[in-house]
């Protein structure tokens, strides 16, 4: 009976360690996404004024809010022509 309990406890500990490794790996992946590379910035500068932000975000593999924030910090704006096409001018 004691052997079964020890074996069950070992499995539980091993499972918890595996789970922690996955969480740490996911955290590293998220953190690595923070910095913008030069090609990403160039593409954002090229596409932002005439394309939907969601489309650009998907293309860059980033969240829409991150793209909006970066564009704002760079001083980028949607073009008047694009805004008119949306009916917002």
Structure confidence at residue 61 as a pLDDT band (50, 70, 90): very high
Q: Which residues contact 53 (CB under 8 A, 6 or more apart)?
A: 64, 67, 68, 71
Does position 74 have pLDDT exceeding 80, yes or no?
Answer: yes
pTM of the model: 0.62
Identify which of 37, 40, 56 has the alpha carbon closest to the alpha carbon of residue 48.
Answer: 56
Q: Sign of torsion, CA 16 20 23 25?
A: negative
- What's the confidence (pLDDT) of residue 76? 98
Mean pLDDT (whole number) for 47-72: 97
Q: Is residue 32 over pLDDT 70?
A: no
pLDDT band at residue 37, thresholds of 50, 70 and 90?
very high
The ranges assigned to domains in the chain are 38-89
Other beta carbons within 10 Å of 44: 21
Distance (Å, rounded) from C-alpha 74 to C-alpha 5? Answer: 60
């Amino acid at each position: 009976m004691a052997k079964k309990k020890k074996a069950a406890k070992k499995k539980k500990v091993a499972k918890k360690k595996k789970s922690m490794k996955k969480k740490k790996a996911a955290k590293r992946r998220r953190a690595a996404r923070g910095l913008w590379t030069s090609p990403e910035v160039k593409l954002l500068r090229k596409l932002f004024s005439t394309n939907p932000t969601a489309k650009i975000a998907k293309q860059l593999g980033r969240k829409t809010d991150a793209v909006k924030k970066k564009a704002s910090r760079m001083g980028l704006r949607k073009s008047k022509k694009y805004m008119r096409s949306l009916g917002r001018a």
